[in-house]
Amino acid sequence: MRQGPRRYPDAFDRRSAALSGTMHVSIIVVAWLSTFYAPETMEFITYEIELVSPPPALAAEEPEEATQELVVERPDPEPVQQEPEAEELPPLQEIELEPEPIREEPVTEDESDVADREVETAVVDLPEPEEELEESGEGLEVRIEGLRRDYPAYYNNIIDQVQRCFRWQDDGRRWETEVFFYIERDGTAEDIEFLSRSGNTAFDFEAMGAVDCAGNGRFGPLPEDLPYDRFPIKFSFRPQGQSPDTGMLIEVMIER
């Protein structure tokens, strides 16, 4: 029998086997040497503590919250004033009064003389005659007559304007109303009032409304040379009949 060629182990296998053997030997040596080394034992220090609980009476008291005292300042009481002792008054002394002298009674004047003097004083205090006439019907008539004589155009315009504003439908009965008013310097009518009334309320207020209508700038300013700041006027309204053409016929008069 013929044998084949002889095979030798691989070099790498020999190296691995040597390395493995070396490692095992080293481990065995280290294990053997470790038997000669004894590590030092660590010593621990032990403290013994004894806990003792205090009795209940000696237990720490809880601190109470400090309460703030409220201090109220009170004013000092006022000292009581002692009433002064009543002083003893000296005894009253009697004083003799001298009798008063007898006064002479004034001589009384005769009542008729006193009345005469009062009348004289009243007469002195009366207003001027022209102003006195203005308050009476006579003074009013004098002024109106002067206006008609000296200023006929202004006088007639007053009548015309009142006629245009007076719109009364005649009912066949006779009425009469007197209206008094003042014409101011600028021509406006003021202080309109009744002097007498007819008994027919509608007729009366239609007459007053006519004066108010005409006195709203229709009269025109008073004449410049008229010596009055306001002029009194009295109107007498008297319906006289009705015309079929015009529908109304009215007579408006300034009474004298």
Q: Average of pLDDT values for 91-107?
A: 59
Across the chain, mean pLDDT equals 70
64: pLDDT confidence band, cut at 50, 70 and 90?
low
In CATH, what number is assigned to the domain containing residue 231? 3.30.1150
Q: Does residue 100 sit within a domain?
A: no
In a domain, 212, yes or no: yes
Residue with the larger pLDDT of the pair 133 and 101? 101
In a domain, 245, yes or no: yes
pLDDT for the residue numbered 158:
94
Total domain count, the chain = 1
State the pLDDT at residue 115: 46
**Residues ≥6 apart with Cβ < 8 Å to 208:** 179, 192, 194
- The phi and psi torsions of 192 (rounded to 5 degrees) equal -75, 130
Considering the domain boundaries, does residue 124 fall inside one?
no
What confidence score (pLDDT) does residue 252 get? Answer: 39
Return the ∠ at Cα 229 (arms to 223 and 230), rounded to 5°.
90
Residue 248 lies in a domain: yes
Distance (Å, whole) CA 143 – CA 97: 74
Is residue 53 a part of any domain in this protein? Answer: no
Name the more confident of 171 and 215. 215
Question: Beta-carbon neighbour count of residue 83 at 10 Å?
Answer: 6
In this prediction, residue 220 has a pLDDT band, given cuts at 50, 70 and 90, of very high
- Decide if 178 contacts 236 (C-beta within 8 A): yes
Q: What is the pLDDT of residue 44?
A: 60
Least confident of 12-16, 69-73, 202-206, 220-224: 69-73
Q: What is the pLDDT of residues 31-47, one digit of tens each?
A: 887 777 656 666 666 65
Long-range contacts of 198-207 (CB under 8 A, 24+ apart): 199/175, 200/173, 200/175, 203/168, 203/175, 203/177, 203/237, 203/239, 204/177, 206/166, 206/167, 206/168, 207/166, 207/168, 207/177, 207/179, 207/235, 207/237
Q: Which residues pair with 238 in a beta bridge?
A: 251
Tell me what pLDDT residue 201 has. Answer: 92
The whole domain housing 229 covers 133-253
Instruction: Determine the residue type at 183.
Output: I
Residue 16, helix vs strand vs coil:
helix
Rounded distance between C-alpha atoms, residue 207 and residue 204, angstroms: 5
CA distance 113 to 200: 54
Q: How many CB atoms lie within 10 A of CB 205?
A: 14
Higher-scoring residue by pLDDT: 13, 19:
19
Is it the case that residue 53 has pLDDT exceeding 70?
Answer: no
215 domain residue, yes or no = yes
- pLDDT tens-place string over residues 118-175: 433 333 333 343 443 344 455 556 677 878 888 899 999 999 999 999 988 877 788 8
Q: Is residue 137 part of a domain?
A: yes
Contacts 24+ apart (CB under 8 A), 244-247: 247/169
User: What is d(CA 231, CA 140) in angstroms, rounded to the nearest whole number?
Assistant: 9
The pLDDT of residue 208 is: 94
Share of the chain above pLDDT 90, in %: 27
Side-by-side strand order, sheet with 230-241: 189-196, 177-184, 230-241, 249-253
At residue 253, the pLDDT reads: 42
